[in-house]
Structure 1
Amino acid sequence: MPETPHVSLRARTDDDLDVLFEIARDLGTWEERNAEAPRPLTRAQFDARLARAADSVDESVSFVVDVDGVAVGGASLFNVDSFARHAEAGINLAVDARGRGIGTAAIVQLVEFGFVRRNLRRVHLQAIASNAAAIRAYEKAGFVIEGRQREHAWVRGAYEDIVLMGILRSATVGL
């Protein structure tokens, strides 16, 4: 049986940028991570996007997903509503980090950060309906399906449903 990797969330460093750029420019999963139309992403565009995010004054928070000391993805809380105390969660992983429980471990830590450190009461997310692995990982982390936007996304040549999921602090044990 393979050993379970040690997954943690941490701040981004310059050493992580190559991995994060490779994930961001992956056209194979673009529609699952972006609301905009797929297109090639240059390193200059990626760096400019990071600079804009760094200059932003919103309450978003981003982490690197780290496995045994190596960056394998990113996780963030964004669209934070500080009055109603909720935020949207997002996660992206390198291809070789998928299907190993890393996403589940990372999303659990992200939700815990939101509830304990940011005093959120609800975290929600969206998933492409055909991404069964992601939906399963979110359910393992405690998210429940709250709804569906029918044929809401254009993904690789077809319309797909968006599955809306959420988790409440009051539904988690000890948080």
Structure 2
Amino acid sequence: MISGQLAGLRARLPEDVTVLHAELHDDVVTRSQADSRPWSPRPATGGHSPYEPAPPSADAAVFSVVELASGDLAGEALLWGIDTHNRCAHLGISLRPGLRGRGLGREAVQLLCRYGFTVRGLGRLQIETLSGNTAMIAAATAAGFVREGLLRRSAWVYGGFEDEVILGLLSDEWTDPL
């Protein structure tokens, strides 16, 4: 486990799937805001959930976020699109609604930076998020990410187009505050 003061990142466990699926996937609006792919109904069982543990992959690192004080499963965190040639990756988190607002998202972003820069040796991390996702933008900027651009009306989200913000962080700009 990669631990901070409030949160930890650990491997996804089979028992995480039903909780994450019910609270993050089955909420259509939330899932539509968090994923660029269209929502579709899927069962949480039988290997159909997007939260199913997968074999290790060179291009993604998927974690469950745990609140250390309670031991509760708080959500998911991942580096995806890991490019070992250009030494870059994309970062994403999604927290269960009842565990938001506790500083776990901010720390999960910092822990993903630690993993990406220290463990994987990446040179750049990037976040793409909806312009209205103030919690993710605040967590990213607190970790040192810089707003690099705006993609106007680039995301189709639950019936309308929304702008996306691109934030980036280079390894030599990052300091581990934990």
Same fold (TM over 0.5): yes
**Runs of at least 4 residues off by over 4 Å:** 48-51
Percentage of matched positions with identical amino acids:
32
Match in the other structure for 1:143: 145
Query: Which has more helix, going by share of residues?
Result: 1
In 2, distance between residues paired with 1:164 and 1:104? 17
Q: CA RMSD in A?
A: 2.1
Q: What does 1:1-175 align with in structure 2 at a 5 Å threshold?
A: 6-22=6-22, 23-44=24-45, 47=48, 49=50, 54-55=54-55, 57-68=57-68, 69-173=71-175
Cα distance in 1 for partners of 2:56, 2:119 equals 20
> How far apart in 2 are the matches of 1:159 and 1:48?
26
Gap regions ≥5 residues in structure 2 = none
Offset at residue 48 of structure 1 (A):
5.6
Which letter does structure 2 place at the counterpart of 1:17?
Answer: V
1:30-69 CA distance string (max 9 Å, x none): 2222112223232147646456x72474331111100031
Secondary structure, counterpart of 2:66 in structure 1? strand
TM-score by structure 1 length? 0.87
Alpha-carbon distance in 2 for matches of 1:56, 1:14 = 15
Letter in 1 for 2:137: I
SS in 2 for 1:41: coil
Contact 1:12-1:64 within 8 A present in 2 as well? yes
Letter of the 1:35 counterpart:
S
